[in-house]
Structure 1
Amino acid sequence: MDVRAQLVMVFNLDKCIGCHACSLSCKNIWTDRKGAEYMWWNNVETKPGVGYPKKWEDQEEFKGGWVADGHNLRLKAMGKGPTLLNMFFQPNMPKLEDYYEPFDFDYGNLYGAKGGDDQPVAEAFSQITGEKMAHIKAGPNWDDDLSGSQVYASADVNLEDKKIIEQYSTMFMQYLPRICNHCANPACVASCPSRAIYKRGEDGVVLVDQEVCKGWRFCTSACPYKKVYFNWNSGKAEKCIFCFPRTETGQCNACAHSCVGRIRYVGVLLYDAEKVEQALLKPDNQLVEAHRGVILDPRDEAVREGARKNGVPEQWLEAAEKSPVYALIKEFELALPLHPEFRTMPMAYYIPSLSPVLTSGGELHELVEHGTIPTREALRAPIGYLASLFGGGNRDVVAAALEKLIALRIHMRAKNLNQPTDEASLGKAGLDEAGAKRLYRLFTIGGYNERNIIPPQQREELDSHTRKGASGFGILKKTGRGKR
Structure 2
Amino acid sequence: MKVMAQIAMVMNLDKCIGCHTCSVTCKQAWTNREGTEYMWFNNVETRPGVGYPRRWEDQVENKGGWVHKANGKLVPRQGGRLKGLANIFANPNLPEMSDYYEPWTYEYEKLLSAPKDSSALPVARPKSQMTGEHINAPEWGPNWDDDLGGSLETMQDDPVIAASGAEVKAQIENAFMFYLPRICEHCLNPTCVSVCPSGAMYKRSEDGIVLVDEDKCRGWRMCVSGCPYKKVYFNHTTGKAEKCTLCYPRLEIGEPTVCSETCVGRLRYLGVLLYDADRVGEAAATERDEDLYEAQRQILLDPRDPEVIEGALAEGVPRSYIEAAQESPIYKLIHEYQVALPLHPEYRTLPMVWYVPPLSPIVDEVTASGNDGEDGKILLTAISRMRIPLEYLASLLAGGNLAVTEKTLRRLAAMRSYMRDIHLGGEGNEEIAAAVGMTGEEIEAMYRLLAIAKYEDRYVIPNAHPEIERSLDDFRCSLDGTGGVGMGGPGFSGNKVMVELLPRRPGGTSV
What is the TM-score normalised by the length of structure 2? 0.87
Residue equivalent to 1:421: 428
1:188 & 1:265 partners in 2: Cα distance? 25
Opposite residue 452 of structure 2, the aligned amino acid is: I
Q: Could you tell me which of 274, 278, 283 is aligned with 2:282? A: 278
Q: Is the 8 A contact 1:54 1:99 kept in 2?
A: yes
Q: Is the 8 A contact 1:9 1:267 kept in 2?
A: yes
Structure 1 position 305 matched with structure 2 position 330: no
2:24 & 2:45 partners in 1: Cα distance? 14
Opposite residue 417 of structure 2, the aligned amino acid is: I
Q: Note closer, same or farther for the CA distance 1:211–1:353 as it changes in structure 2 (3 Å cut).
A: same
1:298 & 1:162 partners in 2: Cα distance? 39
Opposite residue 39 of structure 1, the aligned amino acid is: M
Q: Could you tell me which of 154, 157, 175 is aligned with 1:155? A: 157
User: Secondary structure in 1 aligned to 2:145?
Assistant: coil
Opposite residue 299 of structure 1, the aligned amino acid is: R
- CA deviation profile, 1:144-182 (whole Å, cap 9, x unmatched): 111672212221111145752323443110000000000
Give matches, 1:212-223, under 5 Å. Answer: 212-223=216-227
- CA deviation profile, 1:282-304 (whole Å, cap 9, x unmatched): 11000010011010000001101
Offset of residue 276 of structure 1: 1.1
Q: Could you tell me which of 429, 437, 456 is aligned with 2:463? A: 456
2:257 & 2:365 partners in 1: Cα distance? 42
Q: Is the 8 A contact 1:147 1:173 kept in 2?
A: no
User: Secondary structure in 2 aligned to 1:437?
Assistant: helix
Offset of residue 376 of structure 1: 1.2
Structure 1 position 293 matched with structure 2 position 298: yes
Residue equivalent to 1:387: 394
1:399 & 1:27 partners in 2: Cα distance? 35
User: Secondary structure in 1 aligned to 2:260?
Assistant: helix
Residue equivalent to 1:445: 452
1:453 & 1:210 partners in 2: Cα distance? 29
Q: Is the 8 A contact 1:355 1:380 kept in 2?
A: no
Residue equivalent to 2:408: 401
Residue equivalent to 1:477: none
User: Secondary structure in 2 aligned to 1:152?
Assistant: helix
Structure 1 position 240 matched with structure 2 position 241: no
Opposite residue 96 of structure 2, the aligned amino acid is: K
Q: Note closer, same or farther for the CA distance 1:404–1:147 as it changes in structure 2 (3 Å cut).
A: farther
Q: Could you tell me which of 346, 349, 361 is aligned with 2:351? A: 346
Q: Note closer, same or farther for the CA distance 1:109–1:147 as it changes in structure 2 (3 Å cut).
A: closer
Residue equivalent to 2:329: 324
Structure 1 position 120 matched with structure 2 position 122: yes
Q: Is the 8 A contact 2:4 2:315 kept in 1?
A: yes
Give matches, 1:23-422, under 5 Å. Answer: 23-69=23-69, 70-114=71-115, 115-146=117-148, 149-160=151-162, 161=165, 164-282=168-286, 283-357=288-362, 368-373=369-374, 374=379, 375-419=382-426, 421-422=428-429
2:266 & 2:97 partners in 1: Cα distance? 33
Q: Note closer, same or farther for the CA distance 1:162–1:350 as it changes in structure 2 (3 Å cut).
A: closer
1:337 & 1:348 partners in 2: Cα distance? 7
| Aligned residue pairs, count | 460
Opposite residue 223 of structure 2, the aligned amino acid is: C
Offset of residue 368 of structure 1: 2.2
User: Secondary structure in 1 aligned to 2:179?
Assistant: strand
Unaligned runs of 5+ in 1: 469-484
Q: Is the 8 A contact 2:342 2:352 kept in 1?
A: yes
Q: Is the 8 A contact 2:166 2:391 kept in 1?
A: no
Tell me whether 155-164 or 137-146 shows the greater mean CA deviation: 155-164
Tell me whether 130-139 or 33-42 shows the greater mean CA deviation: 130-139
User: Secondary structure in 1 aligned to 2:168?
Assistant: helix
Residue equivalent to 1:480: none
Opposite residue 202 of structure 1, the aligned amino acid is: E
Opposite residue 342 of structure 2, the aligned amino acid is: P
Offset of residue 438 of structure 1: 1.1
Opposite residue 54 of structure 2, the aligned amino acid is: K
Offset of residue 329 of structure 1: 0.5
2:213 & 2:18 partners in 1: Cα distance? 32
2:139 & 2:174 partners in 1: Cα distance? 29
Offset of residue 367 of structure 1: 6.1
Q: Note closer, same or farther for the CA distance 1:142–1:111 as it changes in structure 2 (3 Å cut).
A: same
- CA deviation profile, 1:442-466 (whole Å, cap 9, x unmatched): 12221111000000012x31389xx
Tell me whether 257-266 or 350-359 shows the greater mean CA deviation: 350-359
Opposite residue 5 of structure 1, the aligned amino acid is: A
- CA deviation profile, 1:108-160 (whole Å, cap 9, x unmatched): 22221134222212211000111111221122312211167221222111114
Offset of residue 433 of structure 1: 1.6
Tell me whether 421-430 or 195-204 shows the greater mean CA deviation: 421-430
2:62 & 2:356 partners in 1: Cα distance? 27
What is the TM-score normalised by the length of structure 1? 0.92
Residue equivalent to 2:16: 16
2:464 & 2:365 partners in 1: Cα distance? 54
Offset of residue 378 of structure 1: 4.0
1:285 & 1:451 partners in 2: Cα distance? 29
Opposite residue 44 of structure 1, the aligned amino acid is: V
Tell me whether 143-152 or 271-280 shows the greater mean CA deviation: 143-152
1:386 & 1:239 partners in 2: Cα distance? 27
Q: CA RMSD in A?
A: 1.8
Opposite residue 358 of structure 2, the aligned amino acid is: S
User: Secondary structure in 2 aligned to 1:328?
Assistant: helix
1:247 & 1:409 partners in 2: Cα distance? 33
Q: Note closer, same or farther for the CA distance 1:403–1:360 as it changes in structure 2 (3 Å cut).
A: closer
4+ long deviations beyond 4 Å = 160-163, 358-361
User: Secondary structure in 2 aligned to 1:230?
Assistant: strand
Unaligned runs of 5+ in 2: 475-511
Offset of residue 71 of structure 1: 2.2
User: Secondary structure in 1 aligned to 2:153?
Assistant: coil
User: Secondary structure in 2 aligned to 1:165?
Assistant: coil
Q: Is the 8 A contact 1:148 1:166 kept in 2?
A: no
Identical pairs, percent: 49
Structure 1 position 435 matched with structure 2 position 439: no
